[in-house]
């Protein structure tokens, strides 16, 4: 039986109150299985990014429950949630979110430092991902010295190197040209297929939709289809 990494039950999220209330998500039920390579798609304003933020605890639900790796996010304090995210969830953002004063190596190993991974293991994991993502020789460069595609590779390495239960990626190819975006997606699909890493994307990118093994379509805050390819 496939292991369920995320269970979202009757998720409702509203912003504002009264006449100004906007219902971003409406009674969303969603299970993510280990090894999924899934894309959450839909028009702008459909709730894709809101759903992704709720799945990792960056945003709170108005009602409903989220469980990640068997733990309820609603029952955690802010500090517990931050620690849980570090240990179980990898995040990739459209804007890369690298720390500008840290080198490539330091950015990638940052989460492992917080996890107290021994230095020798950190070094081995970092160099493995540098090689896999074509970043060898870039260890001591700072983000400003890299191209957009290289910065996103560093962000992906940082998300994956700590071996999280799931990686959530919000429009990860939005700031990249189609060739660079395609290369990064192939790398992520390789990690998904060979290491059974679990990926969930929120996206408008046809390249992600083409490669996804599962398409979850949102319209007006509701899941209107959930298809395996």
Helix, strand, or coil here: 199?
A: strand
Mind listing the pLDDT tens digit for each residue in 10-43? 999 999 887 888 899 999 999 999 999 999 999 8
Domains of the chain: residue spans and CATH: 4-228 (3.40.50.300)
Mind listing the pLDDT tens digit for each residue in 179-203? 888 888 988 898 899 888 899 999 9
Mind listing the pLDDT tens digit for each residue in 117-136? 899 999 898 888 888 888 88
Cross-sheet strand order for the sheet of 89-92? 89-92, 166-170, 199-202, 37-41, 214-219, 222-228
From the CB of residue 109, how many other CB atoms can be counted at a distance below 10 Å? 25
Helix residue ranges per DSSP H, 48-205: 48-55, 78-88, 104-114, 119-132, 148-161, 178-195
Mean pLDDT lowest for which of 47-61, 152-166, 202-216?
A: 152-166
Dihedral pair phi/psi, residue 146, rounded to 5°: -115, 155
Instruction: Decide if 222 contacts 45 (C-beta within 8 A).
Output: no
The pTM for the full model equals 0.90
Spatial distance between the Cα atoms of 127 and 120, rounded to a whole number of angstroms: 11
Q: Which of 108, 114, 63 is nearest to 88 (CA)?
A: 114
């Amino acid at each position: 039986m496939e292991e369920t990494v995320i269970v979202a039950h009757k998720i409702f999220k509203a912003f504002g109150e009264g006449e100004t209330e906007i219902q971003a998500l409406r009674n969303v039920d969603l299970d993510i299985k280990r090894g999924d390579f899934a894309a959450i798609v839909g028009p702008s304003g459909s709730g894709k990014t809101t759903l992704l933020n709720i799945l990792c605890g960056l945003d709170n639900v108005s009602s409903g429950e989220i469980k990640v790796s068997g733990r309820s996010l609603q029952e955690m304090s802010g500090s517990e949630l931050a620690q849980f995210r570090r240990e179980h969830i990898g995040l990739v953002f459209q804007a890369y979110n690298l720390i500008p004063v840290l080198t490539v190596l330091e950015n990638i190993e940052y989460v492992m430092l917080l996890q107290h991974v021994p230095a020798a293991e950190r070094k081995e994991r970092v160099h493995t991902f540098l090689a896999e993502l074509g970043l060898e020789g870039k260890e001591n460069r700072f983000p400003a010295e890299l191209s957009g595609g290289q910065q996103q590779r560093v962000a992906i390495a940082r998300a994956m190197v700590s071996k999280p239960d799931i990686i959530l990626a919000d429009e990860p190819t939005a700031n990249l040209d189609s060739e660079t975006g395609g290369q990064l997606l192939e790398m992520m699909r390789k990690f998904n297929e060979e290491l059974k890493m679990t990926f969930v994307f929120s996206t408008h990118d046809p390249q992600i939709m083409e490669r996804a093994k599962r398409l979850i379509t949102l319209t007006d805050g509701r899941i209107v289809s959930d298809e395996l390819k």
